[in-house]
Amino acid sequence: MARWVDENPNPTEASVAKCNSVLSLPEPWLEATQDSNTFVARTTLAPAYDERWFWKVLDRLLRNTPQAIQALCESSKTDHQLLQQFRDMVTFCHVATILPDNKASPDTICSAFSGAPKGHPINVTKLEDIVTCAFRYGVKLALDWVLIGAIDSDAQLIEALEELDSNWFLGMEGTDAWSEAILRETTQLFCIFHDAEQDVYRSHLLTLREVSVPIGRLHSEMVRSLWTTLSLELLYLTNDDDERYSIQAHPTVLRNLTIQAANPPLGYPIFSSLPLTVATLW
């Protein structure tokens, strides 16, 4: 299996791999990787990076771009400086999420999922959003691997990632992004969080689906017939039966709602406005 090329696996100081490729990372991102932890982590994390998977993903992202861009991508496969840039960036993102000397404890994972990782600060908003999103995807795929089963091929992994990207929102419940996902009618919403009262870690999954709602219509003549007998009932037929005007007594006609809708003083409103001032002198 092809691995990342690292021409200097044991650097003595932080440095940035320079290249002139159009695929080169933005300068602020490159500056963010100039951290000693990133370069110290190179040796430890190097076996985890698969160059073959990197180019497979990049080819897929650029498949709908002009042929010139695709050709550029193909020619860049021999650009060791470009590969080193992306390798250092991925290493930095890993260090920013979980420091190499930290274990992936439930607290560490939950904190990173919430967007507050306990690793090295990123300090680049766009990059921070991408890292948080990627980490959430990884957590969801790991949970699916445990609960549903392992992914056997790259094609299945790409399909799973595209499914998350198209039909899922992974984030924290109660945030603006969560509310916006609900308004967009996102198919699935998922989050993990720490229940401080019981000191356990939980997940919450919401699924968009159709819900059957019964709808009824009361005939206007039936409602008016109830209203016309209110005076008789209130003056001559009242008793201590608390259910006389309730839905429980007459569920079919929604009795208490129809009584409320009558004009005062026999009916009573289900809401009231703020005090109103009415001028009596002109």
Nearest CA to 92 out of 134, 139, 63 is that of 134
203-210 long-range CB contacts below 8 Å, 24 or more apart?
Answer: 203/143, 204/173, 206/182
pLDDT score for 14? 46
Is residue 203 within 8 A of residue 192, CB to CB? The reply is: yes
More reliable by pLDDT, 270 or 161: 161
User: CA 98 to CA 171: how far, in whole Å?
Assistant: 18
Is the pLDDT score of 4 beyond 50? no
pLDDT at 141 over 90: yes
> Model-level pTM?
0.67
For residues 16 and 7, give the distance between their C-alpha atoms in angstroms, rounded to a whole number. 13
The two beta strands, 188-195 and 168-170, are parallel
- Does 213 score more than 50 pLDDT? yes
Q: What is the mean pLDDT of residues 31-44?
A: 69
Give the model's confidence band at 170: pLDDT under 50 very low, under 70 low, under 90 confident, else very high: very high
Asked whether residue 207 carries a pLDDT value surpassing 60, the answer given is: yes
Instruction: Give the three-class secondary structure for 21.
Output: coil
Backbone dihedral angles phi then psi of residue 207, each to the nearest 5 degrees: -125, 125
Please check the confidence at residue 29 and state whether its pLDDT lies above 90. Answer: no
Q: What is the mean pLDDT of residues 30-56?
A: 73
Domain locations in the chain as residue ranges: 17-103, 104-209, 220-261
Q: Hey, what are 139's tokens?
A: 């957590």
| Contact yes or no for 233/194 (Cβ under 8 A) | no
**Structure tokens given for 93:** 């993102």
Q: How far apart are CA 160 and CA 146, in angstroms?
A: 15
pLDDT of residue 7: 47
Q: Average of pLDDT values for 204-218?
A: 89
Q: Which of 216, 204, 231, 246 is nearest to 110 (CA)?
A: 204
How many whole angstroms separate alpha carbon 121 and alpha carbon 32? 9
Does 28 or 221 have the greater pLDDT score? 221
Decide if 223 contacts 258 (C-beta within 8 A): yes
How much is the pLDDT for 10?
47
With tokens 């948080």, the residue in question is 132
Please state, in angstroms and rounded to a whole number, the distance separating the CA atoms of residues 159 and 245.
59
32 or 127, higher pLDDT: 127
Query: Would you state the pLDDT for residue 18?
Result: 57
